[in-house]
Amino acid sequence: MPFLEIKELKKSLGSGEGKVEVLKGIDMFVERGEICAVLGASGSGKSTLLNVIGGLDRADGGSIIIDGADIAKMNDTKLSAYRREFLGFVFQFYNLVPNLTVEENIQLGEYLASKPLDMEEIIDVLGLNEVRNRFPSELSGGQQQRCSIGRALVKNPKLLLCDEPTGALDYKTSKDILSLAEKINREYKTTIVMVTHNREISRMCGKTVNIKDGAVYKTEINENIVPAAELEW
Ligand SMILES: Nc1ncnc2c1ncn2[C@@H]1O[C@H](COP(=O)(O)OP(=O)(O)OP(=O)(O)O)[C@@H](O)[C@H]1O
Ligand SMILES: [Mg+2]
């Protein structure tokens, strides 16, 4: 059984005349320990999909089975426990708490978890030691993104969802962040779903789910995974 299995997932957004069916029956699966890319153009429904997998938003229909449990059927209490215990979410624009330092932002993730990883190790792995006492406004984009990855990671999530984690970053910093995702996957065996609109980035992933207009039109298995450091775009 795959680690994550999504069947016939549907989701509409907006209301009344403005209601749009954004996800029109998504089918996909991700194996345990895999890095899976979700690739698609702007507006294709990638963030909507990730938000539903992450329990930030509810599906209208279909199932999302993660490690044997269907999160589409969970009540709110169970769903928040799942988010807390199981999941790390990395946002496109970091979402750090502005009046907390780097260390305190990462501690937020630590408080939420029942079996957190060692905070010092995370700060070290992410190369954040020198800036640990700074506030988000005193950080570069890459440092902010590393901090938000730290906050997601310290929980030791089984599933790490990343929505365009390099979307707001320059080329060099993007590659550093992607190498970091690779390292996390290797060292902690974290299953990662990474949303991107950049086909080159999908080459570091074992599988690519291509979405167009709210539906999967192609799933590719990548036999020849390219290390993030060797990607070029
Ligand atoms: N509240 C809403 N009401 C109606 N339509 C919405 C709403 N929010 C998003 N949409 C539409 O849903 C579609 C998918 O949006 P989504 O944010 O999931 O796309 P995306 O693939 O993540 O795009 P991007 O690459 O630009 O981040 C878009 O066409 C968008 O206009
Ligand atoms: Mg998006």
Q: pLDDT by residue (tens digit) across 110-139?
A: 988 888 888 998 898 888 999 999 999 999
Q: pLDDT tens-digit profile of 215-233?
A: 999 999 999 999 999 999 9
CA of 137 to the centre of ligand 2 (A): 23
**Quick one: pLDDT band at residue 186, thresholds 50, 70, 90?**
very high
Residues above pLDDT 70, as percent of the chain? 100
34 burial level (CB within 10 Å; 0-12, 13-18, 19+): middle
- The answer to whether residue 85 scores a pLDDT higher than 90 is no
Instruction: Report pLDDT for 40.
Output: 97
Instruction: Report pLDDT for 82.
Output: 92
**Mean pLDDT value across residues 49-71:** 96
Residue nearest to atom 17 of ligand 1 (CA): 47
C-alpha 209/C-alpha 211 separation (Å) is: 6
* Segment holding 150, helix H or strand E: helix 141-153
What domains can you pick out in the chain, each with its CATH number?
33-59+76-230 (3.40.50.300)
Adjacency order of strands within the sheet including 4-13: 20-30, 4-13, 61-66, 69-70
Most informative mutation of 44, 92, 202 for ligand 1 (most atoms within 8 A of CB): 44
Contact 210, 51 (CB under 8 A): no
227: left (phi over 0), alpha (psi -120 to 50) or beta: beta
**Does residue 197 line the site of ligand 1, with CB under 6 A?**
yes
Instruction: Report pLDDT for 72.
Output: 95
CA of 24 to the centre of ligand 1 (A): 13
CA of 196 to the centre of ligand 2 (A): 8
**Ligand lying nearest the CA atom of residue 44:** 1
